[in-house]
């Protein structure tokens, strides 16, 4: 599986140029997006709760970046440490009852006039169809996606700056590539027909929410 289209950071930088900023990436995964974030900012710190994925990120030896294990809802950084926080497809993976806490922590570690940026999956696109039809990748996360969006919209300490539609496009080399990348758990007999119908290219709708912390006083 290859990402053949991703404009996330370019769209973010139409609102928030990352140059000269200290950035915290929450939920860096295997570091595949950390590479570009680090190339655009002064310093990148990244956290990831999955130790296996974190080892993959560390193995990339990304200049200008440091990594550590940690959950979004308990950040091991001091108050007002960063100019920007980026949740990289991660808020919907936080337990629903802890999403508000995770945002509270992001607010705590951002500086005055800093930015909190959320990249979250939407609920349409052929990639999403594949997740539902084949119980593939992260499976059916509709409940968690709705909860994450609600947590962003309703949080008392966030001021919305922009909401931007986004899309990531994936290409698969073969059915085997799909199976290895997406780990489908049902309807495997239908995978080849599904991929051929979509020319082995799947589209994932995303949403970018750019916010700033605000005082309650």
| CATH for 30 | 3.40.50.150
Q: What share of the chain is helix, strand, coil (3-state, %, to 5)?
A: 35, 30, 35
| Cβ atoms within 10 Å, residue 119 | 23
* Rg of the chain on CA atoms, in Å: 17
- Per-residue CA distances from 156 to 77, 108, 216 (Å): 22, 13, 8
Q: Give the per-residue pLDDT at 217.
A: 59
> CA end-to-end span of the chain, whole Å?
48
CA–CA separation, 170 and 1 (whole Å): 6
* Within a domain: 177: no
* Within a domain: 53: yes
Pair 85, 109: CB distance under 8 Å:
yes
pLDDT tens string, the chain, 217 residues long: the values are 999 999 999 999 999 999 999 999 999 999 999 999 999 999 999 999 999 999 999 999 999 999 999 999 999 999 999 999 999 999 999 999 999 999 999 999 999 899 999 999 998 999 999 999 999 999 999 999 999 999 999 999 999 999 999 999 999 999 999 999 999 999 999 999 999 999 999 999 999 999 999 877 5
Q: Of 114, 119, 117, which Cα lies nearest the Cα of 214?
A: 114
* Within a domain: 41: yes
* Within a domain: 36: yes
Number of domains the chain contains: 1
* Within a domain: 174: no
CA–CA separation, 40 and 42 (whole Å): 7
3-state secondary structure 33-45: CHHHHHHHCCEEE
What the block records as the tokens of 36 is 């570009």
Greatest C-alpha distance within the chain: 58
* Within a domain: 56: yes
* Within a domain: 100: yes
CA–CA separation, 115 and 122 (whole Å): 21
Phi/psi-derived region of residue 204, left when phi > 0, alpha when psi is between -120 and 50, beta in every other case: beta
Q: Of 102, 96, 95, 147, which Cα lies nearest the Cα of 121?
A: 147
* Within a domain: 172: no
Torsion of CA 153, 204, 28, 213, to 10 degrees: -20
Look up the domain containing 20 and give its range. 7-123+141-167+206-213
């Amino acid at each position: 599986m290859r990402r053949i289209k991703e404009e996330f950071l370019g769209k973010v930088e139409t609102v928030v140029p990352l140059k000269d900023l200290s950035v915290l990436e929450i939920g860096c995964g295997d570091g595949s997006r950390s590479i570009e974030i680090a190339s655009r900012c002064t310093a990148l710190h990244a956290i990831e709760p999955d130790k296996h994925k974190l080892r993959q990120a560390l193995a990339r030896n990304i200049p200008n970046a440091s990594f550590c294990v940690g959950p979004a809802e308990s950040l091991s950084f001091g108050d007002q440490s960063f100019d920007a926080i980026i949740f990289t497809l991660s808020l919907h993976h936080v337990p629903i009852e802890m999403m508000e806490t995770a945002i509270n922590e992001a607010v705590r570690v951002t500086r005055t006039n800093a930015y909190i940026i959320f990249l979250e999956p939407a609920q349409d696109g052929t990639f999403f169809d594949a997740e539902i039809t084949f119980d593939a990748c992260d499976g059916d996360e509709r409940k968690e996606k709705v909860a994450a969006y609600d947590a962003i919209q309703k949080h008392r300490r966030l001021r919305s700056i922009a909401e931007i539609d986004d899309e990531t496009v994936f290409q698969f080399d073969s059915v085997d590539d799909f199976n290895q990348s997406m780990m489908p758990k049902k309807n495997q007999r239908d995978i080849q027909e599904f991929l051929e119908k979509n020319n082995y290219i799947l589209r994932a709708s995303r949403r970018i929410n750019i916010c700033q912390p605000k005082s309650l006083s």
